[in-house]
Amino acid sequence: MSPSNETTERRFRGRILGAGSTSGVRFVVGMWDASPFGAFTDVFVELPDGSSVLLAPDEIVAAYVSGTYRFDAVSVVDISARRTARGLELDAGPLVASVDVGAISPLGRVLRIVPKRIARDPRWLTVIDPVAKLVAPGAGTAGTAGNGRREYYGVTGAHDVVGVRGTWAGEPLGELAPLDPPVRFGFASLPRIPQVVDVETTIRERA
């Protein structure tokens, strides 16, 4: 019997926050309001030595996310991400951080031009991927993921991250720094300038 050509789609809608620190710890927080696994938060961390860690809220999320992206280690921990007037309070096992979020970013103003329905469409995201990589080196809107999956990032809004305080494994993160070099969990990073973006991620895979 020949392999099935049918595909299924999984959609994750929420926000992604990316920031670097002067300690060399860089992290990406996914805060998903709607997903095939319900609402959840996960955290991707890249350490100064280049090693990567996934912090996931349960084994199901850990299995799916680690099958889509690349990590050197996976930890299931209690994760709390609480929005505040200043931004975000994050408690995720070894990572504890307070993140300050500022005004809409220049990228966010550009994104307002495209209607959200179009901005989330994988066909549009495939077409604009080369442009996205020029505008934000290291970033991308369409690419391959683990286990033969295809992934699309439909970003519809963006705000600057303007401050960070906290610890990794009990050691201070230091001050906010660019997300540089780009993180390497999947086919694309976030922009070099720390930001939080509104996004719908679509993952296609064989049925």
- Torsions phi, psi for 96 (to 5 deg): -125, 125
Question: Residue 46 has what pLDDT?
Answer: 96
Q: Which residue has the higher pLDDT, 135 or 98?
A: 98
- The predicted-structure confidence for 14-37, as pLDDT tens digits, reads as follows 999 999 999 999 999 999 999 999
Question: Residue 150 has what pLDDT?
Answer: 92
Please, which pLDDT band fits residue 159 given cuts at 50, 70 and 90?
Answer: very high
- The predicted-structure confidence for 10-19, as pLDDT tens digits, reads as follows 999 999 999 9
Residue 2 scores a pLDDT above 50: no
How many Å apart are CA 116 and CA 103, to the nearest integer? 20
Mean per-residue pLDDT, 175-189: 85
Please, which pLDDT band fits residue 1 given cuts at 50, 70 and 90?
Answer: very low
Spans of all domains in the chain? 8-206
- The predicted-structure confidence for 136-154, as pLDDT tens digits, reads as follows 777 788 988 888 889 999 9
Residue 135 scores a pLDDT above 80: no
Question: Residue 4 has what pLDDT?
Answer: 54
Q: How many residues does the chain have?
A: 207
Mean per-residue pLDDT, 169-181: 95
Residue 98 scores a pLDDT above 70: yes
Name which of 92, 89, 190 is nearest 136 in CA terms: 190
**pTM, two decimal places:** 0.91
% the chain with pLDDT above 90 = 75
How many Å apart are CA 168 and CA 179, to the nearest integer? 16
What DSSP letter does each residue of 11-34 carry, written as one string? EEEEEEEEEEETTS-EEEEEEEEE
Q: Which residue has the higher pLDDT, 22 or 110?
A: 22
